[in-house]
Amino acid sequence: MMGEYAGWYIDGTAELMDAPQAVSTTFAEVTGHGAMTFAEWAVANVHGFR
């Protein structure tokens, strides 16, 4: 599916291991509440996968 871009994607993902991006507060500032973890999202949306 990714074809020629697969290497670029893998390289970019690997770079984040050594130099992760800083956490941003933008989501909380815009929505008025913090982001949820993947686990929280999964629990809240499990009904859509049954």
Question: Residue 48's pLDDT is what?
Answer: 95
Question: Residue 30's pLDDT is what?
Answer: 96
| pLDDT tier at 4, thresholds 50, 70, 90 | confident
Percent of the chain topping pLDDT 70: 100
Q: What is the mean pLDDT of residues 24-29?
A: 92
* pLDDT of 45 above 90: yes
Question: Residue 21's pLDDT is what?
Answer: 85
Burial letters 28-47, b for 16+ CB under 10 A, else e: eeeeeeeeeeeeeeeeeeee
SS3 string of the chain? CCHHHHHHHHHHHHHHHHCCCCCCCHHHHHHCCCCCCHHHHHHHHHHHHC
